[in-house]
Amino acid sequence: MNKKKLLNSVLLYMTLFFSISVLAQSEPEVLKNWIALEEADFHYDVSYSVVKCNPNSKPTVLINAFNEDGTNPKVGFTLNFSDNNGNTAQVVVAPFTSKLGDMFIASCSSEKYSNLKFDYPENIDLTTVKVEITYQTQS
């Protein structure tokens, strides 16, 4: 095989391998699209989504937190999950630094806001889930 054919073959295989690798990376499967929770009196917004980050993963809750007001330097919250079967679960997100205009969005592809990403409670029926939020602040 001459050098030109060998080089073309190598380039073809590299391109094919790269294409297959890109296609194999899947987007998260959205199980419950973004839902806004009750806004805090001090204008802090929290919403959540439930996704499977990859086909083999457990459902994951991703949080989006937005500080509209900036009066509280640290904000946290407790999420109380319930369903129509009477099951309950609680997740506490410890207060974290948040300034006016800060938006924190957890994602499957990054650990940047890992405090806002956690496993979906296994005992809660996703089709009838209700989530109540209680905010906590610190100076």
| pLDDT of 6 higher than 80 | no
Domain containing 133 equals 27-138
Tokens of 69: 């007001």
Q: What is the pLDDT of residues 69-90, one digit of tens each?
A: 889 999 999 999 999 999 999 9
Please give the helix or strand (H or E) that residue 24 lies within, else none: helix 3-24
The whole-number pLDDT of residue 15 equals 47
Q: What is the pTM of this model?
A: 0.79
Residue 8 lies in a domain: no
pLDDT of 95 strictly over 60? yes
pLDDT at 121 over 70: yes
Mean per-residue pLDDT of the chain: 86
Q: Are 52 and 31 in contact (CB under 8 A)?
A: yes
Among the listed ranges 12-16, 29-33, 57-61, 93-97, which one has the minimum average pLDDT value? 12-16
- CA dist 40 and 30 (Å) reads 26
Which residue's entry shows tokens 């905010």? 135
Residue 61 lies in a domain: yes
Could you report the per-residue pLDDT of 11-42, keeping only the tens digit for each? 444 444 444 444 445 689 999 999 999 999 99
Q: Is residue 17 part of a domain?
A: no
Strands of 10-102 (E only): list them.
29-36, 44-52, 59-67, 74-82, 88-97
Domain membership of residue 44 (yes or no) is: yes
Q: How many domains does the chain contain in total?
A: 1
Residue 1 is given by DSSP the state: -
- The verdict on residue 37 lying in a domain is yes
- Residue 4: pLDDT band with limits 50, 70, 90: low
Q: 43 in a domain, yes or no?
A: yes
113 within domain boundaries: yes
CATH number, residue 89: 2.60.40
Instruction: Tell me phi and psi for residue 18, to 5 degrees.
Output: -60, -45
- To which residue do tokens 């990376």 refer? 25
pLDDT at 27: 84
- Report the DSSP beta bridge partners of residue 79: 91, 133
Name 77's bridge partners. 93, 135
